[in-house]
Amino acid sequence: MHHVILSIPPFLLPKKSWNILMSDLENHFGDDAYVEEETHNIILKFLEQNSAETSTKEAAFMILDSLKNKDIIAITKSNYWKKTHKNIDNNIFSNSLVKSKANCKACHNDIEKGLIEDENIKNISSFTSYM
């Protein structure tokens, strides 16, 4: 469960998105995402305190700017994400090692630790041999 929610670092989504996401966990991720109220509140507080608004990272700033207060909970729907991934062939996202755009970790080794810099991104051309 934690894995699903925290598969992207909190600074990549605004407070509002984390709120919407956390208020509707079961619908988005199935029954597995149900958590006790106390745990839920701890997670939500953590996400809010570390959301994009609180970050000085460039990516956080860009996300906020690109979402413009829209109710987006999937970062892949943001213009910022689309722009930063526009050079990646769609076949790469659907190949067996990646499977989905939401599988950030397939390419960003340490994304859950907040490391999104180039040196933490795998060489995606290595995926092409698995198409």
Which residues of this chain interact with ligand HEC, rule CB under 6 A? 8, 12, 59, 75-76, 84-85, 87-88, 92-93, 98, 101-104, 106-108, 116, 118, 121, 124
Minimum CB distance to ligand HEC smaller for 33 or for 104:
104
DSSP 8-state secondary structure symbol assigned to residue 123? -
Minimum CB distance to ligand HEC smaller for 47 or for 106:
106
DSSP per-residue letters across 73-94? --GGGSHHHHHHTTTS-HHHHH
Minimum gap (Å) between residue 38 Cβ and ligand HEC: 28
Minimum gap (Å) between residue 1 Cβ and ligand HEC: 18
* Cβ atoms within 10 Å, residue 47: 21
Q: How far is residue 58's CA from residue 52's CA, in Å, rounded to a whole number?
A: 10
Q: Is the separation of the CB atoms in 87 and 125 below 8 Å?
A: no
Minimum gap (Å) between residue 75 Cβ and ligand HEC: 5
